[in-house]
Amino acid sequence: MTAQTRFQRLPVVPATRIMLWRLGAIACALLMTAGILALSGYSPVDLALLVVRSTIGSSFGMEDLALFMSPLLLTGAAVTVCSRIGLWNIGAEGQFYAGAIGAAAVGLFIPAPAIVLLPLMAAAGIVAGMGWIAIPTLARAYAGVNEIITTLLLNFVASLLTYYLTTGPWRDRVTGAQVSSARLPVSIPEIWGVVHWGFPLGLAIVGLLAWVMAHTRWGYEIRIGGANPDAARYAGIAVRARIIAVMLLSGGLAGLAGMFELAGTVHRLQGGMANNFGYLGIVVAVLARGSCLNVIPAALLMAFILDAGIVLQTQQLTASVVLAITGLMLFMIALADELAHYRPVASLAKGTRP
């Protein structure tokens, strides 16, 4: 008899095991990046120190991290909530734009004091995000149409609609800014430097979602509906109603992210203002592994990567190189997540005579 080693996939692994594998993946990605940069004539140590000083090592860098996190928290939560019931909302980018458009419509054309206008803008952003995902929601719930395709395609429609409004009927006729509306008369108050109240509100919303998913009957029904829809229906859970509710909630979260970015950071509707926050929300959700609470550290990691990328571009690294480094790190993390589920198992097999 001879001993052979095979690998067994574990359906569930401890969170600490995932974390250790991820840390190892990040270390490997950083070493590979350092090697590539060294071969290209750069000093990896100097660049690393510059990134640390310019991000977590300075007040300005910390403010940038918070500004990046604000939309990523909500778009990441939007995708994560949908994944809990076994669906994928790939349209957070479009819902982000829709929320920004709805909020801008209120802010630009309804005269009111800030204490009234800001809640109205937030409500308009949420409703607009829900409205943008409404057709994919109904198509999925009643006709079984794949929500991945429908939500994805509406991203392009929302982006083009934003460009139409900012170059046409809503264009800035005062300063003549390109692809931009006029500046909003109100803005979300700032709490630290340029960091506005959208950041703590985003943290609070994600924390509330995590509690609802873990400690309420509704959250339990969502999890059961995603794990086994047939068993959920047999148990009396209205799966179709839950699908509709979750997808509308997802669209509302992404729409609120658009409102926060509009009224807190950009202060005007602009073409391209989403900055891929909707698509990056998918990455945040994947890193969070279906946990709303894990959206917070995942959004922080993604914000750090984006902030570090900007710093590297100031050192003459092209955007393509920065994008490649980002992709490498995310790829290694995804690979580590999968490898963490495997363990070697020794088994006995009959030996053969030479």
pLDDT tens column, 77-110: 999 999 999 999 999 999 999 999 999 999 999 9
With 70 as the cut, is the pLDDT of residue 353 above it?
no
User: How much of the chain exceeds pLDDT 70, in percent?
Assistant: 96
Q: Where are the beta strands (DSSP E) in 133-225?
A: 190-192, 195-196
- pLDDT for position 349: 57
Q: Binning pLDDT at 50, 70 and 90, where does residue 354 land?
A: very low
Between these two residues, 59 and 92, which has the higher pLDDT value? 92
- CA-based nearest residue to 91, from 275, 277, 267: 277
Query: 267 — alpha (psi -120 to 50), left (phi > 0) or beta?
Result: left
**Has residue 324 got a pLDDT over 50?**
yes
Strand-pair category, 190-192 with 2-9? unpaired
pLDDT band at 313 (very low <50, low <70, confident <90, very high): confident
At residue 212, the pLDDT reads 95
Report the C-alpha gap between 181 and 168 in whole angstroms: 9
Query: Where exactly are the structural domains of the chain?
Result: 70-287
Query: Using CA atoms, how far apart are residues 187 and 262, in angstroms rounded to an integer?
Result: 8
Which amino acid type is present at position 79?
Answer: V
Distance CA 10, CA 224 (A): 21
Residue 249's Cα: distance from chain center in Å? 15
Contact 295, 76 (CB under 8 A): yes
What average pLDDT does range 4-21 have in this prediction? 80
Tens digits of per-residue pLDDT, 240-273?
A: 999 999 999 999 999 999 999 999 999 999 999 9
Average pLDDT over the chain reads 90
Which pLDDT does position 348 carry in this prediction?
Answer: 56
8 phi, psi to nearest 5 deg:
-110, 135
Whole-model pTM over 0.95 = no
Which residue type is seen at 258? Answer: G
Q: Point out the least confidently predicted range of 62-76, 147-161, 223-237.
A: 223-237
Beta-bridge partners for 3? 348
Give the list of residues 6+ apart from residue 22 with CB closer than 8 angstroms, or none: 333, 336, 337
